[in-house]
Structure 1
Amino acid sequence: MRERHASQGARRAREFEAFVAGAAGRLLHAATLLTAEPRDDNPRARRLLALSLAHTYACWDRLRGEDPYDRARQYLATRFAREAWHRHGGFGRARRQPAGTLGVLTPQERLVLVLRLYEGVAEEQTAALLGLPAERVRTICDRATATLLHPPGRPARPVAQAEAAAS
């Protein structure tokens, strides 16, 4: 009996290690996009990844044919959403913008954009995961894409400074 449990535990550990070897890089990149941290300095993204993988490992035996990557991605997304909600009092603009390219977006816009465009999650699945209507997800994705394609300009310099710079 003991040998069988040990054998099952070893098999479980090997399966999970193989999953992590194949999925951790992509999940970390998704987490880095969500947090809008630089790729080489991303402690929040690494924490999200660790929590997501720990959750996936905890329910590994109960997956029963379910894709572990989907489970890990769902946990990553919901954990990010929960932290953003508590950190910023909602999904509005953060008090200070993250430095990354996606830093101009709100946490909700980043979440929808990463799920839809980077991860390729269908609009309906994204809506169900976030508890939003599909039309709202489409609107958020469109607005985020437009913001990235046409970023808000810097504030204009006062006329006196502009004239002084021109001369």
Structure 2
Amino acid sequence: MTSTPAVTRDAEFEAWLQVRQPALHRTAWALTGNPHDAADLLQTALAKVYLSWERVREASSVDAYARRILINEHTSLWRRAFKRREHATYAVPETPVSDTYDDGRNQALWTFVQTLSPKQRAVVVLRYYEELSEAETAAALGVSVGTVKSQCSRALASLRERAPRSLSPEEYR
């Protein structure tokens, strides 16, 4: 019995998703700052990847395509939210599960990362969280390497200015 193209396509997508979903979810969480928005962002991105699977799987990097969709969707959501200007009347605590090795500085630092502009946050997430090179980050964002360098420099300067020194790793004090 031979498998149909749709079954093969679904199997390929599911195999890729099984391996990459945790990393993509972490990236979405780092971009949005909370697990609920991250899940929504990831679901939207994965739907777009699935719909483009025939074209995307032939490309050199499905991961880069998926990250690009995450970033574009996050930027679009941020712009729409900015235009709507909805303001919560109360704060709902968003407490992610702490990492066993987290001494409390990581969550505090991410609070400051969330204050960066969406472009700067995307650069910081891709460079330092996803550990992409400057060239890979530039390709993922569709900008030049120089733009990545300048956005990263401005973001780090902003973080250094806003964040207390107690959040800096020992080797940078």
- The TM-score with structure 1 as length reference comes to 0.69
On the 8 A contact 1:48/1:76 being kept in 2, the answer is yes
1:78 correspondence with 2:89: no
1:13 correspondence with 2:10: yes
On the 8 A contact 2:67/2:140 being kept in 1, the answer is no
Provide the C-alpha distance between the structure 1 equivalents of 2:127 and 2:146, rounded to a whole number of angstroms: 13
Of 123, 141, 162, the residue aligned with 2:152 is 141
Question: CA offset at residue 129 of structure 1?
Answer: 4.8
The residue that corresponds to 2:42 in the other structure is: 49
The residue that corresponds to 1:117 in the other structure is: 128
The residue that corresponds to 1:24 in the other structure is: 21
Tell me: CA distance 1:128–1:70, structure 2 relative to 1, closer, same or farther (3 Å).
closer
Provide the C-alpha distance between the structure 2 equivalents of 1:147 and 1:76, rounded to a whole number of angstroms: 24
1:60 correspondence with 2:71: no
Tell me: CA distance 1:133–1:19, structure 2 relative to 1, closer, same or farther (3 Å).
closer
One-letter code of the match for 1:68? V
Question: CA offset at residue 103 of structure 1?
Answer: 2.0
Larger Rg: 1
Offset from partner CA, 1:65-116 (integer Å, 9 cap, x none): 4322111111111111222233336xxxxx89xx752223222221111122
Tell me: CA distance 1:86–1:150, structure 2 relative to 1, closer, same or farther (3 Å).
same
Unaligned 5+ segments in structure 1 are 90-94, 154-167
Aligned CA RMSD, in angstroms, stands at 2.8
**Number of aligned positions between the proteins:** 140
Unaligned 5+ segments in structure 2 are 89-93, 95-109, 165-173
Provide the C-alpha distance between the structure 1 equivalents of 2:7 and 2:142, rounded to a whole number of angstroms: 38
